[in-house]
Structure 1
Amino acid sequence: MTTYLPREVREGLEAAHRLALRRKNRLRVVVGDQVFPILRLRDHGMVVPADGAPRLRGLVDVYDGGRHLWQCLIVASAQDGQEMQYEFKRQTAAETLPALDFELPDTRPAGLLPRV
């Protein structure tokens, strides 16, 4: 059995694989007003398609659909074919509530009941 594939078949398979990754993945990185899809997350970084993304550097926001996940400080590490790899220098979880300047007591009320 041979493992050789013609160049056209190999390129077609790679293009189909990239398209499938883009369709099923909702992760995206936002830089200012530019949005780039994230192909996959790694332990300390992410992989973005190289064709549309410049060599990003600095503070970016990572979203899963409409949910803000992280604010990250990134640097481009390597380009591997059609994929650009970025490393996280800092990865901070996005908070939905503002930071408090005081400690909340454990005995605070859980809610208010309306008057009947």
Structure 2
Amino acid sequence: MTYLPKEVREGLEAARTAALGRRNRLRVVMADTVVPLLRLWDHGFAVPVAQAPRLRGLVDVHDGGRHLWQCLIVAAAEEGDEMLYEFKRQTAALDRPAPDFVIPQDAPAGLLPSS
């Protein structure tokens, strides 16, 4: 095992975190607060602890300009420089309103105007 001085380890960890933030377009939006996601898994996500207010309740997860999910979250734990949150509910965001009726399988895709 290679020994690295504390300052070098901290510098490497800071560079890793900064690189994750630059590459990753995923972010959490709660009201006027926008926080970049560091990691995302099936039941939760991690954000930088320095940028994370105590998020709780309903948040939206975006990938760039695309709305992915609306989630109900709770703070789970703080690990190093990451704040971990868990999903209580995760609902996919739709790009159209949800229909309030059953759409038949053979329904036309659109209507042509009569001439």
TM-score, normalised by the number of residues in structure 2: 0.92
Aligned residue for 1:16?
15
1:68 lines up with 2:102 in the alignment: no
Q: Which runs of 4+ in 1 moved over 3 A?
A: 112-116
Deviations along 1:7-60, whole A, 9 cap, x unmatched? Answer: 110111011000110011100000001100000101200000000111211000
The offset of 1:115, in angstroms, is 6.5
Deviations along 1:52-82, whole A, 9 cap, x unmatched? Answer: 1112110000000000000000000000110
Aligned residue for 1:99?
98
| Equivalent position amino acid for 1:29 in 2 | V
TM-score, normalised by the number of residues in structure 1: 0.91
Listed as ranges, the gaps of 5+ residues in structure 1 are none
| Equivalent position amino acid for 2:51 in 1 | G
SS at match of 2:12: helix
Distance in 2 (CA, whole Å) between partners of 1:54 and 1:11 is: 23
Distance in 2 (CA, whole Å) between partners of 1:11 and 1:106 is: 58
Compute the RMSD of aligned alpha carbons: 1.5
Distance in 2 (CA, whole Å) between partners of 1:10 and 1:57 is: 32
1:54-93 equivalence runs, <5 A: 54-93=53-92
SS at match of 2:16: helix
SS at match of 1:110: coil
| Equivalent position amino acid for 1:10 in 2 | R
What is the aligned length?
Answer: 115
| Equivalent position amino acid for 1:44 in 2 | H
Distance in 1 (CA, whole Å) between partners of 2:3 and 2:19 is: 23
1:47 lines up with 2:46 in the alignment: yes
Listed as ranges, the gaps of 5+ residues in structure 2 are none
